[in-house]
Amino acid sequence: MIGKKMEKALNDQINAELYSAYLYLSMVAYFESENLPGFATWMRAQTQEEIMHAMKMYDYVNERGGRVMLKAIAEPPAKWKSPLAAFEAACKHEQLVTGRINDLVDLAIKEKDHAANTFLQWFVNEQVEEETSADAVVQQLKMAEGAPDALFMIDRELGQRVFTPPARGGQQ
């Protein structure tokens, strides 16, 4: 059985994960409007990943006998100054999410909820990957500043990303 503090914290994180999906979907729309289909494809895969994260937590709360309580999702920004600015915002957002996941782990330890602590370790590791992948694009875009042909090449590369959902019950 999940404790009330952990249940509330995970419900808050479900909302945060859904906001992340909403933010990245807004970036999809931005990149599509800028005629950068590869960037849009990359962010669409990121959107799907965030929804999967929310559902993973949703299922966990239910499996532990808790109650999922959905809340309104905040409106995300709709425009960025440049593709670099959008990816810098994504990178900063992933750092924020990492802090939130770390806070959840701290709460699990404080509440002596070993099951939640074990469950959350997947997200701790996932956040390392999330920050690294967003930062890699930031670094490429910084190198490509002022070179439209390089932006075109990055767009083509980012368009290769495909979201692959994990096997049912498996760890992604």
pLDDT at 168: 62
- 49-107: per-residue pLDDT in tens? 999 999 999 999 999 999 999 999 999 999 999 999 999 999 999 999 999 999 999 99
Q: How far apart are CA 94 and CA 135, in angstroms?
A: 10
Q: Which candidate, 119, 108, 132, 9, places its Cα nearest to that of 56?
A: 119
Note the residue count of the chain: 172
Q: Which whole number is the average pLDDT over 154-162?
A: 96
pLDDT at 169: 53
Give me the residue spans of the domains in the chain: 4-71+81-158
pLDDT at 162: 93
Q: How far apart are CA 156 and CA 159, in angstroms?
A: 5
pTM: 0.93
Q: What burial class does residue 121 get, using C-beta atoms within 10 Å of its C-beta: 0-12 exposed, 13-18 middle, 19+ buried? A: middle
Given pLDDT bands bounded at 50, 70 and 90, which one contains residue 165? confident
Q: How far apart are CA 19 and CA 32, in angstroms?
A: 20
Q: How far apart are CA 98 and CA 80, in angstroms?
A: 23
Q: Roughly what angle, to the nearest 10 degrees, separates helices 114-144 and 37-63?
A: 170
Contact 68, 61 (CB under 8 A): yes
Given pLDDT bands bounded at 50, 70 and 90, which one contains residue 164? confident
Given pLDDT bands bounded at 50, 70 and 90, which one contains residue 172? very low
Q: Which whole number is the average pLDDT over 139-159?
A: 95
Q: Let me know if domain 4-71+81-158 sits in CATH 1.20.1260.10.
A: yes
